[in-house]
């Protein structure tokens, strides 16, 4: 038993010495990077809250899109697309031109179907 312990301790010591050390790197994280991630998640949440309204749900249903499909597509959108969509929503008149919102989201879905990122509408053939 003593011999086994000694052999095991020698093996572990040698393995720690012989294993290559992985390179490490330290970098300063700027405020823009730190707060940019939280801002993007806030933008995404604002867009999802807009789609949870009853009128938005009714308009999406009229276009043949379920709320789950809309949420799934929003989760697949890049941060730039979310920022652009939220900017366009902010430019809408106060009181909400909801039809414009629904048409905008519908156009985003059509464009993503055309480029092949989603397959929501069966009548749209993706470009290859």
The 3 state secondary structure assigned to the chain is CHHHHHHHHHHHHHHHHHCCCCCCCCCCCCHHHHHHHHHHHHHHHHHHHHHCCHHHHHHHHHCCCCHHHHHHHHHHCCHHHHHHHHHHHHCCCCCCCHHHHHHHHHHHHHHHHHCCCCCCCCCCCCCC
What's the confidence (pLDDT) of residue 101? 75
Residue 8's region, left for phi above 0, alpha for psi from -120 to 50, else beta, is: alpha
What's the confidence (pLDDT) of residue 49? 82
Q: Per-residue pLDDT averaged across 89-116, rounded?
A: 75
Q: Give the domain ranges of the chain.
A: 30-128
What's the confidence (pLDDT) of residue 32? 67
Longest dimension (CA), the chain: 82
Percent of the chain clearing pLDDT 90 (strictly above): 0
Q: What angle do CA 39, 40, 44 make, to 5 degrees?
A: 120
Give residue 35's pLDDT band: very low, low, confident or very high (50, 70, 90).
low
């Amino acid at each position: 038993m003593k011999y086994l312990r000694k052999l095991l301790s020698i093996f572990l010591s040698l393995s720690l010495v012989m294993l290559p050390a992985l390179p490490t790197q330290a970098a300063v994280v700027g405020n823009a990077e730190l707060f940019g991630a939280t801002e993007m998640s806030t933008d995404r949440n604002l867009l999802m809250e807009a789609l949870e309204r009853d009128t938005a749900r009714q308009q999406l249903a009229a276009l043949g899109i379920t709320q789950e499909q809309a949420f799934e597509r929003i989760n697949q959108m890049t941060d730039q697309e979310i920022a652009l969509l939220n900017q366009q929503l902010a430019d809408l008149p106060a009181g909400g031109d909801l039809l414009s919102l629904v048409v905008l989201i519908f156009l985003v879905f059509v464009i993503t179907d055309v480029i092949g990122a989603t397959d929501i509408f069966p009548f749209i053939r993706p470009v290859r």
